[in-house]
């Protein structure tokens, strides 16, 4: 099966010639022919126009994805926030997938793959915005705000357990001092990690916007170059019909 294209003023005609000897249905033949069209071929011009920027952008996305999943593992092991742990893993997986697609675009720059990478980056952009909302909510929730007061120790979940607390006033004062110190350390550590993840998410938003802009520019330049290199495609349809032997 072959495909020919003729362009006139505002009109594009695609002619598909089927193979009567083929056992495949006509729809399968059309899909197979379209998949073998230049839209899916690797283009040397696109490779030059993309440069090495997509490799760098893809690497950044993969790194942030791995860091996000690692942060989710830390959250789970410490038991700070179960809902944030669940979110970190699928957010990191989306970032890694988007980074892999960006690297593949650099290695195999076809118009089809570039269009697919734009869609993936747009989806990853939405996930990055969702991550920013998640981290902002977690930072505002103050998960580390547990009280170290003696009354709340007795009335809290430790009440009635076999764990023995301090008995004298000095021991309670020492306990509260240590509790406040560790609580402050936890606040600084966890809060710093949340802020770091927020900054990485903002970085990814910029990376994805840059990747989409570069991809669209490369596609536009490649389209203009193909139009200049193929003057036959600009030949009017009427001229081709008049020059046909059947006329």
What is the arithmetic mean of pLDDT over 82-107?
Answer: 83
Q: Give the pLDDT confidence score for residue 225 in this predicted structure.
A: 67
What is the arithmetic mean of pLDDT over 61-72?
Answer: 90
pLDDT of 202 above 50: yes
Phi, psi of 17 (to 5 degrees): -100, 120
Question: What percent of the chain has pLDDT above 70?
Answer: 54
Between the two ends of the chain, the Cα-to-Cα distance in Å is 25
Q: Give the pLDDT confidence score for residue 163 in this predicted structure.
A: 46
pLDDT band of residue 54 (cuts 50, 70, 90) is confident
Question: Which range, 23-37, 87-101, 217-231, has the best average confidence (pLDDT)?
Answer: 87-101
Closest listed residue to residue 144, CA positions, set 81, 71, 70 = 81
> 160-191 pLDDT, tens per residue?
444 445 556 567 777 777 777 877 787 788 78
The answer for residues whose C-beta is within 8 angstroms of residue 13's C-beta and 6 or more apart is: 5, 6, 7, 237
pLDDT of 7 above 90: no
Looking at per-residue confidence, does 39 or 205 come out higher? 205
46-55, 122-131, 180-189: least confidently modelled range:
46-55
Q: Give the pLDDT confidence score for residue 220 in this predicted structure.
A: 81
Q: Give the pLDDT confidence score for residue 134 in this predicted structure.
A: 83
Mean pLDDT over all residues of the chain? 72
> 19-46 pLDDT, tens per residue?
666 666 666 655 555 555 554 455 556 6
Domain ranges of the chain: 1-36, 43-230
Q: How far is residue 203's CA from residue 65's CA, in Å, rounded to a whole number?
A: 12
In the chain, DSSP finds a helix count (H) and a strand count (E) of: 8, 2
């Amino acid at each position: 099966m072959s495909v020919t294209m003729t362009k006139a003023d505002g009109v594009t005609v695609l002619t598909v010639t089927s193979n009567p000897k083929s056992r495949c249905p006509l729809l399968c033949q059309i899909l197979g022919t379209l998949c073998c069209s230049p839209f899916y071929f690797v283009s040397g011009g696109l490779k030059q126009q993309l440069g090495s920027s997509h490799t760098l952008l893809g690497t950044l996305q993969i790194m942030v994805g791995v860091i996000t999943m690692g942060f989710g593992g830390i959250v789970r092991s410490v038991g700070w926030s179960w809902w944030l742990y669940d979110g970190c893993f699928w957010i990191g997986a989306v970032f890694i997938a988007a980074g892999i697609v960006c690297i593949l675009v650099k290695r195999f720059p076809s118009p089809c793959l570039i269009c697919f990478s734009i869609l993936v980056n747009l989806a990853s952009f939405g996930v990055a915005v969702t991550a920013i909302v998640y981290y902002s909510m977690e930072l505002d929730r103050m998960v580390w705000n547990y009280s170290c007061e003696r009354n709340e120790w007795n009335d809290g979940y430790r009440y009635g357990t076999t764990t023995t607390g301090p008995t004298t006033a000095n021991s309670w004062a020492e306990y509260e001092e240590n509790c406040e110190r560790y609580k402050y350390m936890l606040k600084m550590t966890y809060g710093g990690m949340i802020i770091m993840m927020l900054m990485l998410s903002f970085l990814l938003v910029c990376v994805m916007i840059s990747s989409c802009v570069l991809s669209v520019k490369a596609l536009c330049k490649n389209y203009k170059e193909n139009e200049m290199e193929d003057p036959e495609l600009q030949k009017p349809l009427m001229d081709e019909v008049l020059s046909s032997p059947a006329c």
